[in-house]
Chains A and B, each alone.
Chain A
Amino acid sequence: MSGLLRSPRVQLVLRLVLGAFFVYASLDKIWSPAAFAKIVYQWQVAGPVPSNLVAVTLPWIELLAGLLLVAGVWKRESALVIALMLAVFIVSAGSVMARGIDVENCGCVSVAKAEARSSWPPAWTKGVGWFLVSRNLVLLGAALVLVLAPPPRPGSPPEAS
């Protein structure tokens, strides 16, 4: 298993998928910062002003780290930034769930209001719950594989890093 995770091809796939996901996840939030700030505030993890600061800065960090990961530049560092964000998301989601707070739209990839139950994707994929935590744990695992990948050997092809 560890050999598979060290495979340059596997790391390339993880890098592109993780980077593309974070680029995609950042766009709607960048376009609508006020709407995202309302969602951050609904998590009840921070007060109104800290929530504003998170809403304004977080999507751009996601975008930058995602682009770097896709481009293969500063791979380890950008993966570490993404891993750190995912760890914060997971802990925050756990806190929201433990306190019984109902957040219909987590604001993870879209700031649109939760839609009807019959819509696709289903509402439970958008709210703060076990699906979100599970998805973020998978993404965190992918990010950690990239962070902990062995450093490149001199003369090795770029994707072997």
Chain B
Amino acid sequence: MLGDWKRFILILVTGAAAGFLWNAASGRGFALGRSVLVQAGDEIVGVADARTLLDRGALFLDARPRDFWRMSRIPGALPLPEEDFDRTFAEIEPRLRRASGIVVYCSGFGCEASHVVARKLRERGLIAAILDEGIPAWLDAGLPMDSEPRS
């Protein structure tokens, strides 16, 4: 009643094969074995290493829109929103230059803002690590957030 299962499987397999072929040969493909957000030069740190860096005094930067930072943030984090990068960077540049280490984070799961901000910092001569999977990974590890409202 539902048709021929071999044809059904053939449609799925042929479509998938065409997709892999296109990704490999079209020039429009991308690396499948890692997050699509990661580019050459990006330094990714896991949540355990990020915690260690925080304990050692690294400066954390919140790349989400400023309203999200106002509501909650990794303890001590400063806002450096992707959409307001230039103005905010000018304000906090001296602190960034003095920092012993920098970690940028955002909302995780497809949030590209931390990657974009880290690359912009790199263009300005500042090395910044990106927190892998952002805030969800931080929370999943049972690590604290600062929820004191900020203005």
Contacts and interface: CB of A to CB of B under 8 A. Distances in A.
Nearest to A83: B2
Contacts of B14: 64
Nearest to A147: B2
B8 A49 contact: no
Nearest to B35: A48
Given A41-B109, A77-B7, A48 B36 contact: yes
Contacts of A38: 36-37, 110, 112
B1 A60 contact: no
Interface in B109-133: 109-112
Interface string A1-37: 0000000000000000000000000000011111001
A141 to B, nearest CB: 16
Interface of B: 1-4, 7-8, 11-12, 14-16, 18-20, 22-23, 28-30, 32-37, 109-112
A154 B1 CA distance: 16
Interface residues of A, number: 39
Contacts of A51: 36
A44 interface: yes
Contacts of A151: 1
Interface of A: 30-34, 37-39, 41-44, 48-49, 51-53, 55-65, 68, 74, 76-78, 80-81, 101, 147-148, 151
Given A41-B37, A43-B110, A52-B32, 6 more contacts: A31-B28, A38-B112, A55-B36, A56-B20, A56-B22, A62-B15
Contacts of A65: 11, 15
A81 B32 CA distance: 24
Contacts of A148: 1
A83 B49 CA distance: 44
A41 B38 CA distance: 13
B12 A61 contact: yes
